[in-house]
Chain A
Amino acid sequence: DTGVSQNPRHKITKRGQNVTFRCDPISEHNRLYWYRQTLGQGPEFLTYFQNEAQLEKSRLLSDRFSAERPKGSFSTLEIQRTEQGDSAMYLCASRLRGRTSGDVTGELFFGEGSRLTVL
């Protein structure tokens, strides 16, 4: 079963370092999402791609965060100059958007997440 895959699962880094997370979505899914989840909270939207185009970014996504999805397949989320407040679980999800504009019913399929700890 080729579900959504995220790497690394855990990352411990020192404040000020850069980190990169990778997400491999379900192959036929054209939409890919990044969420952040902190303890006791639900997933918070960061950004999403339709194919290779980044269509929306949340205000949560500061200038230190950048996401890419080259060729519309896997995606990377990079955090530069990490801060302790960046410590969280970073979740990737993919979704198949329908062919018609009215088809909004596809659910999100989540990976197991990448947990970041900034010391």
Chain B
Amino acid sequence: AQSVTQPDIHITVSEGASLELRCNYSYGATPYLFWYVQSPGQGLQLLLKYFSGDTLVQGIKGFEAEFKRSQSSFNLRKPTVHWSDAAEYFCAVIGTGNQFYFGTGTSLTVIP
């Protein structure tokens, strides 16, 4: 069965520091992977997606993610974090039945 694991429930980083959020997936076929961001009380906004091709994917707001098939991972990165990046981040995979399966999310706190 397909699933997504986000090992870090909560991460705190200083403004200006780099960021990496971890995502591991379980899916037998070629995975289609996504990262979404959710601000408090809001819906989810797509940051980036991976379907095929270049394993380093660029997204909006300066985010990027790297697909590593050997590690079943799709980690999200940002070189310089801004206070406005504080939010909840969700990794997702399209699985059986063309359905989306979401991880439990990582909450990001940015300190001055």
CB-based contact A42/B32 at 8 Å: no
For chain A, which range describes its interface: under 10, 10 to 19, 20 to 34, or 35 or more residues?
A: 20 to 34
The proximity string for A residues 1-33 relative to B, scoring 1 for CB distances below 8 Å and 0 otherwise, is 000101000000000000000000000000001
Give the size category of B's interface with A: 20 to 34
Encode A39-72 as 1/0 by CB contact (under 8 A) with B. 0111111001000000010000000000000000
What is the minimal beta-carbon distance from B101 to any residue of chain A, in angstroms? 8
Segment at the interface with A among B43-51, B63-71, B72-80: B43-51
CB-contacts of B61-97 with A (<8 A)? 90, 92, 94, 97
- The residues of A that contact B92 with a CB separation of less than 8 Å are 42
Contact A110 B44 (CB under 8 A): yes
Chain B positions within 8 Å of A97 at CB level: 98
Task: Enumerate chain A interface residues (CB-CB to B < 8 A).
Answer: 4, 6, 33, 40-45, 48, 56, 91, 93, 97, 104-105, 107-113, 115
* Selected A-B contacts with CB under 8 Å, 17 pairs: A4-B43, A33-B100, A41-B105, A42-B92, A42-B105, A44-B102, A48-B99, A56-B97, A56-B99, A91-B43, A93-B43, A107-B34, A108-B100, A110-B44, A112-B42, A113-B43, A115-B41
